[in-house]
Amino acid sequence: MTAKILDGKAIAEELRNSIKDEVERQVAQGNKRPGLAVIMVGEDPASQVYVRNKKLACEKAGFKDVSEVLPASTSQEEVLALIDKLNADDDVHGIIVQLPVPDHINPEEIIERIHPCKDVDGFHPYNVGRLATRMPQLMPCTPHGVMTMLAKTGIPLRGLNAVVVGASNIVGVPMMLELLNERATVTICHSATKDLAEQVGRADLVVVGVGIPNMVKGDWIKDGAIVIDVGINRMDDGKLCGDVEYDVAKEKASWITPVPGGVGPMTIATLLENTMKVAYQLDCKLK
């Protein structure tokens, strides 16, 4: 079997265009443009690319971009003070802090300072708790973007054996919760998992987000499985490569995401989707 490609670039473009249309409709009715603040501390080269792409996506969708790039020497207190200011600003609907942050910054304290109703990354313990108790509000962009892609396959998730490889707060854990909420039978694997090949080999759906190039071997994949590769690894030759051995896996899978052009673009489109939700839909019950 040769897999069909889940084209994240195309699905993300379709989503961004529908968001842009909705923004113009709302603005024509006298509502505000969604405002997004991306805070970046320091000069991590990969983060610079992602933040630039987020700003570009904001502009194209008709959002107000109020992003702030701060020097690596910025203190924890200065970042917290900026978040307090943005929390109080009615033109700002979404706030995120680009990760990773420099070593002297404590990301947990920063994430908890963002008002849960402006937490468009869905990383605040309030939003993680809502997802875990089946009352989702704002969901992390990468896993939620994967759910949008999975819907495009038309394959029902209910009852599927889903194996998530990687247990990070950004990808693996919220991915597990999203799939569980759709009634998949979910296994989550991590660095202490014994016999990863066996776990992956019985999966109808495998989602991999570990950041190790080609870590999941193509011949582990069960015939006809759906393979979602969240890894984006830059190789010595400058090329990007995923966490799954793509060329072999694509001969076994029914659907597969490429890298680049798979999950990555969905992360940014979903960030816009979350911000628009805050601007026009969310009825925030928290002070």
Q: Is 168 annotated as a binding residue?
A: yes
Q: Could you write out the DSSP letters of every residue in 124-156?
A: SHHHHHHHHTT--SS--HHHHHHHHHHHHHT--
CA distance 232 to 243: 7
Where do contacts with ligand LMY7XDAE occur on this chain (CB under 6 A)?
Answer: 49-50, 96-99, 121, 141-142, 170, 232, 240, 259-261, 264-265, 267-268
Q: Is 46 annotated as a binding residue?
A: no
Residue 125 touches which member of Mg ion, ligand LMY7XDAE, none, C-beta under 5-8 Å by kind: none
Is residue 285 within 8 A of residue 71, CB to CB? The reply is no
CA distance 287 to 273: 23
Other beta carbons within 10 angstroms of residue 30's beta carbon come to 6
* Single-letter amino acid code for the residue at 164: V
> Residue 98 catalytic?
yes
Is residue 237 within 8 A of residue 15, CB to CB? The reply is no
Residue 98 touches which member of ligand LMY7XDAE, Mg ion, none, C-beta under 5-8 Å by kind: ligand LMY7XDAE
Residue 221 touches which member of ligand LMY7XDAE, Mg ion, none, C-beta under 5-8 Å by kind: none
User: Cα–chain-centroid distance for residue 202?
Assistant: 25
Active-site option among 7, 21, 64, 98: 98
Taking the C-alpha atoms of 143, 105, 40 and 141 in order, what is their torsion angle to the nearest 10 degrees? Answer: 10
Residue 121 touches which member of ligand LMY7XDAE, Mg ion, none, C-beta under 5-8 Å by kind: ligand LMY7XDAE
Nearer to Mg ion, 170 or 206 (CB): 170
Q: Is the bond preceding residue 34 a cis peptide, omega within 30 degrees?
A: no
Nearer to ligand LMY7XDAE, 36 or 179 (CB): 36
Least distance from ligand LMY7XDAE to the Cβ atom of residue 159, Å:
29
Least distance from ligand LMY7XDAE to the Cβ atom of residue 140, Å:
7
Active-site option among 118, 119, 121, 250: 121
Other beta carbons within 10 angstroms of residue 282's beta carbon come to 15
> Residue 199 catalytic?
no
Nearer to Mg ion, 8 or 42 (CB): 42
> Residue 48 catalytic?
no
CA distance 248 to 252: 7
Nearer to ligand LMY7XDAE, 254 or 267 (CB): 267
Nearer to ligand LMY7XDAE, 49 or 212 (CB): 49
Q: Is 166 annotated as a binding residue?
A: yes
Per-residue contact flags (x/-) with Mg ion for residues 91 to 130, judged by CB under 5 A:
------------x---------------------------
Other beta carbons within 10 angstroms of residue 196's beta carbon come to 18
CA distance 276 to 92: 11
What is the binding site for Mg ion (CB under 5 A)? 103
Query: Which residues belong to the annotated binding site for NADP(+)?
Result: 166-168, 232
- Known catalytic residues? 54, 98, 121
